A and B are shown apart, each in its own frame.
Chain A
Amino acid sequence: MTLPKFDYVAPRSVQEACQLLEGGGGGARAIAGGTELLMALKNRQESPGVLVDLAALPLDKISYSDEDGLRIGALVTLRHLAAHPLVGAKYPVLAQAARAAGTVQLQAMATIGGNLCQNTCCMYYHRAAGARQSLDPCLKLDGDLCYVVAGSAQCWASYAGDLAPALLVLGATIVIADSHGEKIMPLRDLFSGDGKRPHTLGPGQLVTEIRVPSAASRSGGAYVKLRQRAALDYPLLGVAAYVAMDAAGTTCREAALALTGVERTPVIVEEACRLQGEALTDGAIQTLAAAARRRARAINNVCGIPVRYRRDMVAVYAESALRRARDAATH
């Protein structure tokens, strides 16, 4: 498997990188870890004229202060993130999600920014290159049909990044840079809801930093992932949960629940806010898990495991994640 030919530039600053990406129009692509992009190139799903290498940008640091919370440069690798003692201690959900992604090697190469910007998945988009030749291209390949939902005018490819749900339950914001400067926005606004173009970034825009509010005391989080093997697989379903308890450890101050692998974007289960001020009983957890089940509209775009099983597991996994988060917060 060879790569198509492209030009290569390695800018030294974020400004320069954004200008290069903007100037290149649709033909320029940023490369960070490269684990997903190079596969898309090998499969001829994409053919950018130029790769803008982000590796030299100063975005590979993790810092923490009680005032600013956690700041993660977009080029921090998943392996670096998972191994960071402070992340493991204060944001276990994040370390768990990073460790659940891909394999050791992929974690060492892939960046947190790249993971958030991970493309959506669909068995028809990822079908064999040889088979693709004879078929009309699907929406995601710039065609006009969907093989999953017949007659659909929109692409149903699923978002299956592991990090997004963990960061969403922690209330993360992201810094977006372009040639005009920077802006801060909630992470949830990064996702468009469109399977074909799952992100809201414009040409010339980059995620440069991820910010997580400072860790609350008596809080806990957990990420659980449904997959067929203990490593390598994308999530058939991933659930991140976060809860913070009051000083007595009896009443919930804050709760959040988010899903991945089941929709075109990561799904935030808004009903989690109803737990605020409530006791985190098993019944309350089950009610929220049932709400999660209703929110997830997994469709049949993954090989092997039937979609109804993935749907059925949403409540089971949500309950498991919430219980673990509660246990971590109360112990």
Chain B
Amino acid sequence: MERTIALTVNEESYEVTVRPHWMLVDVLRDRLALTGTKKGCGGGACGCCTVLIGGEPALACMTLAIRCGGRHITTIEGLARNGTLHPLQEAAIAHGAVQCGYCTPGWLLSAKVLLDRNPAPTREDVRAAISGNLCRCTGYRKIEDAILAAAARTR
């Protein structure tokens, strides 16, 4: 059983033929060559496959691709626009919030969801917002600093 679905990813339209048991993360990475979405645990716990579907956070390793027909998806590749980094990306660089970088795409998108809804978050808001994104390198502190700084800059 196969089905062709229309996807909008980072404001570009795609038609992809998928089988029902294919995961969105694999379709993004293997069919659309959007490898910025990472695979960490395959079990919905690490958050490094976080993407936005219709502006809401979703785990691409726990999402069937076939269910995404007609949906608007944002991946990490869509966060910068026309070569201009998003304030969150700028802040991540400026605050040393990146070490191995494997969790980075996921928490940047979680942070975008937060700032889209809450432009003036507290540190506690930030911590809750990224609590679904495991990081083993940074101890989270510089990630939180970066998100708070990006929020302050965007306001």
Interface of A toward B, CB cutoff 8 Å: 1-8, 10, 31, 34-35, 38-39, 42, 51, 53, 55, 77, 79, 83, 102-106, 108-109, 230-232
Contacts and interface: CB of A to CB of B under 8 A. Distances in A.
A104 B21 contact: no
Q: What 9 A-B pairs come out closest when comparing CB atoms?
A: A103-B132, A231-B131, A8-B20, A1-B42, A3-B21, A105-B132, A105-B57, A108-B56, A104-B132
A119 B36 CA distance: 33
B19 interface: yes
Q: Say which size band chain B's interface belongs to.
A: 20 to 34
Given A2-B21, A3-B21, A3-B23, A105 B58 contact: yes
A38 B131 contact: no
Contacts of A35: 44, 59, 62
B33 interface: no
Contacts of B43: 1, 39, 42
User: Which secondary structure dominates chain B's binding surface?
Assistant: mixed
A7 B20 contact: yes
B100 interface: no
Contact of A34 (B19, B64, B132): B64
B44 A106 contact: yes
B64 A38 contact: yes
B132 A102 contact: yes
B57 A104 contact: yes
9 contacts: A1-B43, A35-B62, A102-B132, A104-B129, A104-B131, A104-B132, A105-B58, A108-B58, A232-B131
A39 B66 contact: no
Contacts of A53: 67
A197 to B, nearest CB: 23
Interface of B: 1, 3, 19-23, 42-45, 47, 50, 56-59, 62-64, 66-67, 110, 113, 117, 127-132
B132 A106 contact: yes
Contacts of A1: 42-43
A35 B67 CA distance: 13
A108 to B, nearest CB: 5
Contacts of B21: 2-6
Given A4-B21, A42-B42, A34 B62 contact: yes
A38 B58 CA distance: 14
Nearest to B20: A8
Contacts of A7: 1, 20
A28 to B, nearest CB: 13
A6 B20 contact: yes
A231 B129 CA distance: 10
A211 to B, nearest CB: 25
Nearest to B1: A7
Contacts of A232: 45, 131-132
Nearest to B110: A104
